[in-house]
Structure 1
Amino acid sequence: MRIWDILCPPTCVHCGKDVYGQGEWCTACFNEVWHERRLEGSRYSSLDWIYILADYIGGIKTMLHDIKFNRKKERALGAAPFLQRFTITCSDIRYTPDIVVPIPISESKRHIRGYNQVDLLFKNWVIQQQWRWEDILIKLDGSKPMWTLTKEERKQNMKGHFLVSLSKAKQLVPMPTEILIVDDIYTTGATLVEAADTLKSYFPRANIKALTLASGA
């Protein structure tokens, strides 16, 4: 056991019950939110499918809110058990992406928050899988907060708000044919579809899939 765990005994991310390691969940709280499912992409979008790992309720909702709005970066450790389960899914379906692309945040939001929560949630796990983490999407300033909008407004809000960083994309050799986009929350899919369409315009031969930690949909 690490010294830190002795000084600050690890507790469940949600209920505070004693657990073995930092960032772990007790069985009850994990089972309350764990809900892995796969949504097929629309025939009119560039997304093949989207995997969602949990319901956006209880401990997941509190954890993501704390990371995004309360500067509690350490709470991102709570994503690990869900991603470990998805590692098994990837093995079962024999899926290995050439690159993993995080949904970015705008520079103005990064300046305020200091970090992109998607990086905190997924990057270490991606590196552990020995996959390539490629931060090649750019989010432009100007879009409205998504939680204030209807489903149709969300679609329109994201139009034209992503760009591919050409300097980074040109360094990808060979060109990727399997791309996995990662994001924290899925609601209507507008953000993921726009990101996928943007990537498809630069990588027309790529199969593009997505993974999100949680969804209320």
Structure 2
Amino acid sequence: MRLVLQSLLAKIPKADLYIPLPSSPTHLKKRSFDTIRSIYEDKVKLCQLLEKNDSESAQGEKNKAERLRTKQTFTIKQDISIKNTPQKILLLDDIYTTGRTLYHARDAVNKLFPQSEIQSLTLAH
């Protein structure tokens, strides 16, 4: 499994911005580390553009129907400055279940960069 993961991470597509999907502050406090950041930070330069607001429960604690009904929880950080509009953006995540988290992240980033191509990379389905 480790070799498969290393092989995948060695082939991260080229992008102008690599945006990891953040966890909520409560989830981070519980876990005490940022899973997605720790996976990708030594592979590419990460842009911590998104913030995730606390919600009633983590995605992993919801069933499929509840995940699909989840409202937007991502916002753009106000203290981030990006000089040039990126042509290609890559959202980085760990697990893809329903896609709801990635769709919300894409929608938030798309409001800031509507002309950019936004793709995603996740490690597991």
TM-score under structure 1 length normalisation: 0.53
- Contact 1:143/1:161 (CA < 8 Å) preserved in 2? no
Corresponding pairs, count: 125
Alignment correspondent of 1:124: 42
Give the 3 Å change call, closer, same or farther, for CA 108–145 of structure 1 in structure 2.
Answer: closer
Alignment correspondent of 1:208: 118
Higher RCO by CA contacts (8 Å cutoff, separation 6 or greater) = 2
Alignment correspondent of 1:197: 107
Larger radius of gyration: 1
Q: Deviations over 1:38-84 (max 9, x none)?
A: xxxxxxxxxxxxxxxxxxxxxxxxxxxxxxxxxxxxxxxxx423212
In the TM superposition, residue 144 of structure 1 has moved relative to its aligned partner by 1.9
TM-score under structure 2 length normalisation: 0.89
Which structure 1 segments of 5+ residues have no match? 1-13, 15-23, 31-78, 91-95, 127-131
Q: Quick one: which of 74, 88, 93 aligns to 1:162? A: 74
Q: Quick one: which of 165, 180, 187 aligns to 2:90? A: 180
Which structure 2 segments of 5+ residues have no match? none
Alignment correspondent of 2:18: 100
Instruction: Tell me the percent identity.
Output: 29
Matched residue SS, 1:142: coil
Distance in 1 of aligned mates of 2:49 and 2:69: 22
Q: Deviations over 1:86-109 (max 9, x none)?
A: 24xx4xxxxx21100000011111
Measured on the aligned residues, the alpha-carbon RMSD in Å equals: 1.7
Please state which structure has a larger fraction of its residues in helix. Answer: 1
In the TM superposition, residue 206 of structure 1 has moved relative to its aligned partner by 1.1
Moved over 6 A (4+): none
Give the 3 Å change call, closer, same or farther, for CA 156–100 of structure 1 in structure 2.
Answer: same
Distance in 1 of aligned mates of 2:94 and 2:53: 19
- Contact 2:27/2:58 (CA < 8 Å) preserved in 1? no
In the TM superposition, residue 177 of structure 1 has moved relative to its aligned partner by 2.1
